[in-house]
Structure 1
Amino acid sequence: MNETLAFHGPITRWQGEKATYHLLTISGECAGEIAMHERLRRLEMGGRRGFGSVKVMATIGDTRWKTSVFPSKSGEWWLLVGKKVLKAEDLVAGDEAHLTLELL
């Protein structure tokens, strides 16, 4: 059975060396639930996924996509939000996004 989480927070713009990324930083209780899910999957499967990521089905507004969330060193998790999602939901950096995550 997959677990579903709800979170809201601001879209952040991050400038990398080769590209600009938009992401949602997941913190608090939701971050703890994702971390627990990752630990259980690691025990079950005997190893970690790349970068410690967790597969998810993400939904913002009417846009739904399969992706992964990635852990930060501070205990938060990052969800990259692509240009197609930003455009479809009329979001820009600084806007509050309401996210539903299904942990896979």
Structure 2
Amino acid sequence: MKTWAFEAELWEYSGKGSWHFVTVPPDIGFQIRSESAGGLPGFGQVAVDATIGDTRFHTSLFPDRASGSYLLPVKAAVRKAERLSAGTSVGVLLGLR
């Protein structure tokens, strides 16, 4: 399975709820889009295995028009386990499921 590693800032969505995301760098987003044949039907999500620190989890990347890439949602359980908050730079490992 192909994997991608990168570092990016964890940020909190300013709308309703307290969603936290990491924006996948555009060059990696392009590679993921090419490898995944456009993602899942519907919103274009891409199923991935993600690792941040020692925490591995399953989720879906969501297309992001603003960056032309994808957003990786980071659940509260992952943020708590890794002691992360918005503004923290995190190392991410992604692999397609």
After superposition, residues 37-56 of structure 1 pair within 5 angstroms as 37-39=35-37, 48-56=40-48
Give the distance between the partners of 2:53 and 2:83, measured in 1 at CA.
10
Per-residue CA distance 1:45-72 (angstroms, 9 max, x = gap): xxx4231011000000000011110111
Give the distance between the partners of 1:49 and 1:85, measured in 2 at CA.
27
Give the distance between the partners of 1:86 and 1:56, measured in 2 at CA.
18
Identity over the aligned pairs, expressed in percent? Answer: 38
- Residue 29 of structure 1 deviates from its aligned partner by 2.1
Is structure 2 residue 81 aligned with structure 1 residue 88?
A: yes
Computed over aligned residues only, the root mean square deviation of the Cα atoms, in angstroms, reads 1.5
**Unaligned residue ranges in structure 1 (runs of 5+):** 43-47
> Match of 1:57?
49
Structure 1 stretches of at least 4 aligned residues deviating more than 6 Å after TM superposition: none
TM-score in terms of structure 1 length: 0.84
After superposition, residues 4-43 of structure 1 pair within 5 angstroms as 4-17=3-16, 19-39=17-37
Amino acid at match of 2:85: V
Give the distance between the partners of 1:99 and 1:49, measured in 2 at CA.
25
**Unaligned residue ranges in structure 2 (runs of 5+):** none
TM-score in terms of structure 2 length: 0.90
| Number of residues of Structure 1 aligned to a counterpart in Structure 2 | 96
Task: State which structure, 1 or 2, has the greater radius of gyration over its C-alpha atoms.
Answer: 1
Amino acid at match of 1:53: Q
